[in-house]
Chains A and B, each alone.
Chain A
Amino acid sequence: MIENFLAGSAALFGDPFTIGIFVFGVIGGMLFGAIPGVSMLTLPPSCSPSQQRLNPRKA
């Protein structure tokens, strides 16, 4: 399990673009989660078009 987790972590932080997506998700989730009525559910659909272009790991 630990090796798999480390491999996952390496893949996550090994690429600046993936780090950027991670940071976007963290901040976007917090902001959208805090706005009443908007909620975190609004953010993923607005990202959907770009999801198609990303590779499955990043999406």
Chain B
Amino acid sequence: MLFAVIYCTGTYGGAITAILFNIPGSAENAPTAFDGYPMTQNGQSGKAVGAAVLCSAIGGIASSLVMMAATEPLANWAIRNIGPPEIFALVFFGLAVASSIGARTIWKGWMSVLIGLLIATVGQDPVGGINRYNFGMVDLAAGIAFVPAILGFFAVSEIFVQAEKKASGKYKAPKVSMTFPSWLELWMHKVAVLRSIIVGFLCGILPGIGATLAAFMSYGEAVRWSKTPEEFGKGKLEGVISAETANNAATGAAMIPLLALGLPGGALTAMMVAVFQMHDLQPGPLVFMLSPDLIWIVFAAMFYANLSILVIGLVETKTILNLLKIPFQFLAPLILMLATTGAYIGRGLVLDVIVMFLAGIFGYLLRRSGFSIPGIVLGLILGKIGEQNFAQGMQMVHYDLGTYFSRPICAFLIAAGVLTLATSLYRAFKSTKASA
């Protein structure tokens, strides 16, 4: 029960720092920073944090309710129909959508995703265990960790950008806003909330995918369905709503394969398996028959934990927003210290701190040139997941690539990805012609 509660509230917790300081607490909160931080800079921090609180709670509660009603049938469907080829296709589709987020031109958007994919190739390859781009360094054989890279690309590069503005006299302190989004504003985003719940839930139910991909996919879908995709990455409320609804919607869904089939979907659900085993219990279909009371306490706890996000979130938000009043000369070193500690603490490697600062410098230069930081981060995170699933999928289909297209879900997702790329290419040519 304790771990299930931590899972729900911890997924929301990282949104606050992502919105206020461009420091996502964890990978699943990275898409929240894409639009949340620009909103803070535009003086809409209260609106962004309020939307994050409300949508995290809505996504989590909806997911808990579906989890209670449909754990068994949904788990059976997902396990029968979704395998590594489908997950690879989902990643391909996600990357295709990501290429249109936040860059100055379509080409820079594609380049940003490719840079992310290139960084994802550092370390051992998932099939043969061959070291790639580790330059003989043992620590790099495990690859570039997500957290230092994310901290560098978002937090450190942001400090460089703000420091440059400060030095040139263009710095404007973010305005503290206590205005929460109105019910009308939230109602206007009902479709985005509903779509994010579905995307988050479907991603969460797949073992090994979880809240991170859910948040990225949902953000990508928001961009794809929007009539004004160019506004994303510049402070659009829908961006925050989509990411935060989806990552919390994934938490309830992640419990389905765990409880119904004994398959953990991520690190925290794997720890839950350990707790079950500690008490001589085995999660899976039998646990519903042997200990139904235990399962329903977990379900109830997750429901109330999501409800608590709403209550505690709304109470504490106004206090937290006051952090923005700290002057930049004190805030910047504080953020750097926090980010450095965060980068180091994960694996205890100085290398991760170096990676964070290099990512910061690299990110700063790329931002100046109009490349998309969200695109790079998406490429990095989805690249690793995609490569691993592609390799597993190829082994599964005996290295016959054609089999990928004979699987309906896989073929549909690949076709949707290709269509997305073709559409963005068409738009780019059209706008080039119009401007010429």
**Residues in chain A within 8 A of chain B (CB atoms):** 1, 4-5, 7-9, 11-12, 18, 21-22, 24-45, 47-48, 51-52, 54-59
**Distance to closest chain A CB from B322 (angstroms):** 15
* B1 lies within 8 A of A36 (CB): no
**Distance to closest chain B CB from A54 (angstroms):** 8
* B25 lies within 8 A of A39 (CB): yes
Tell me, yes or no, whether B396 is within 8 Å of chain A by CB: no
**Distance to closest chain B CB from A30 (angstroms):** 4
A52 and B278 in contact, given A12-B301, A39-B25 (Cβ under 8 angstroms):
yes
Which of B94-102, B267-275, B419-427 lies at the interface with chain A?
Answer: B267-275
A29 and B296 in contact, given A37-B346, A51-B275, A59-B1 (Cβ under 8 angstroms):
no
Tell me, yes or no, whether B343 is within 8 Å of chain A by CB: yes
Tell me, yes or no, whether B151 is within 8 Å of chain A by CB: yes
* A59 lies within 8 A of B2 (CB): yes
Q: Interface code B4-20, partner A: CB below 8 Å = 1, 0 otherwise?
A: 11111111111011000
Residues of A within 8 A of B365 (CB): none
Residues of B within 8 A of A40 (CB): 6-7, 9-11, 13, 26, 268
Q: Interface code B294-328, partner A: CB below 8 Å = 1, 0 otherwise?
A: 10111111011100110010000000000000000
Question: Which of B2, B275, B343 gathers most chain A CB within 10 Å?
Answer: B2
Select B26's contact among A5, A12, A33, A56, beta carbons within 8 Å: A33
Tell me, yes or no, whether B341 is within 8 Å of chain A by CB: yes
Main secondary structure of the interface of A (DSSP, over half): helix
The chain A residue with its CB closest to the CB of B278 is A52
**Distance to closest chain B CB from A26 (angstroms):** 5
Main secondary structure of the interface of B (DSSP, over half): helix
A39 and B10 in contact, given A26-B308, A56-B281 (Cβ under 8 angstroms):
yes
Residues of A within 8 A of B89 (CB): none
A11 to B23, CA, bound (A): 38
Select A36's contact among B3, B24, B278, B293, beta carbons within 8 Å: B24
A51 to B26, CA, bound (A): 25
* B12 lies within 8 A of A30 (CB): yes
* A33 lies within 8 A of B2 (CB): no
Residues of A within 8 A of B6 (CB): 25, 28-29, 32, 40, 43-44
A33 to B26, CA, bound (A): 7
A9 to B68, CA, bound (A): 13
A47 to B342, CA, bound (A): 20
* B68 lies within 8 A of A37 (CB): no
A12 and B25 in contact, given A26-B5, A40-B6, A40-B11 (Cβ under 8 angstroms):
no
* B151 lies within 8 A of A33 (CB): no
Residues of B within 8 A of A37 (CB): 147-148, 151, 339, 341-346
Question: Which of A5, A28, A29 gathers most chain B CB within 10 Å?
Answer: A29
Select B312's contact among A1, A4, A26, A55, beta carbons within 8 Å: A26
* B9 lies within 8 A of A5 (CB): no
**Distance to closest chain A CB from B417 (angstroms):** 30
Residues of A within 8 A of B298 (CB): 8
Question: Which of A33, A35, A51 gathers most chain B CB within 10 Å?
Answer: A33
A25 to B274, CA, bound (A): 18
Tell me, yes or no, whether B292 is within 8 Å of chain A by CB: yes
